[in-house]
Structure 1
Amino acid sequence: MKTLLSLVLCSLLSPLVFAEDCAKLEEKAGQKEVQMIPRWGMKVIAPSRVYFHSAPSDACKIKDLFIIKNDFITAYSTYDDGKEQWVSIMYMSKRLGDTVQGWAKLKDFEYTGTMSAF
């Protein structure tokens, strides 16, 4: 019974722990990211969905928010977590009629050129 109660408590608390960790990681990344000026234009080259993340970590994946091969994005900065290169991106969603921002893995993109800041 104790084991079952522990599992239930862990499953209820884990989203809260990850949310806090993602917020802290986003703050850390903001201090150590390398800005791209001028901004980079990039295209998705990954054969499968590229998910947005609230911070540069697999644990911070935003469920059901993704882009697909040949979608174009604007890249703002990069961050190296020691294992993976991440890129802070913005995507103009025609479906949502708005921009979507977050982090994604740099390896999933191809550089297409620089973009004017004006």
Structure 2
Amino acid sequence: MFFRVIVLSLLCTATSLGYASESECSKLASRVDNAEENYRPPLEAKVIGNSRLYFHNAPSSKCQVKGVFVIKGDSLTVYKSYDGWVNVMFIGKDGEDFIGWVQESKIKVIGQYGRNP
């Protein structure tokens, strides 16, 4: 669990091939950060698949946040989608919350919060 807990405010700082610069991730995150486009009410989803689902600072595989991930069965709150990615929040067992982008194909939407089943 310790490895899953890391501050999401860290921006992409990886400089190896395959990662975007901090500036590129920040620009993309700013471009898609429009609260008017959020789902109202937000959606509830579960992580599917057997591998770790890493959080990203922006909807791009090049903006991965190292060490922050969820696993199969974890519950997520989904705020919006963009080009195959979803902006989500995960609340850990310790109550700490993490917000970021994950691949939409790796989650299963259950429904909207506040709706009767």
TM-score clears 0.5: yes
The letter of the residue matching 2:91 is M
CA shift at 1:14, angstroms? 3.7
Alpha-carbon RMSD: 2.5
The TM-score normalised by the length of structure 2 is 0.76
Q: Tell me the TM-score normalized by structure 1.
A: 0.75
Q: Which one has the bigger helix percentage?
A: 1
| Partners of 2:26 and 2:100 in 1: CA distance | 12
| SS of structure 2 residue aligned to 1:38 | coil
Alignment of 1:27 with 2:30, yes or no, is yes
Does the alignment pair 1:43 with 2:46?
A: yes
Counting matched residue pairs gives: 100
Q: Distance in 2 between matches of 1:56 and 1:102?
A: 9
User: After superposition, what is the alpha-carbon deviation per residue over 1:10-30, rounded to whole angstroms, capped at 9, x for unaligned?
Assistant: xxx947x61010000001112
Separation in 2 of the partners of 1:65 and 1:76? 18
Gaps of 5+ in 2: 1-13
Match of residue 78 from structure 2? 75
Q: Which residue is 1:92 aligned to?
A: 91
| Max Rg structure | 1
1:33–1:47 CA distance, 2 compared to 1 (3 A): farther
Taking every aligned residue pair, what percent have the same amino acid on both sides? Answer: 35
Q: Structure 1: 5+ residue runs without aligned partners?
A: 1-12
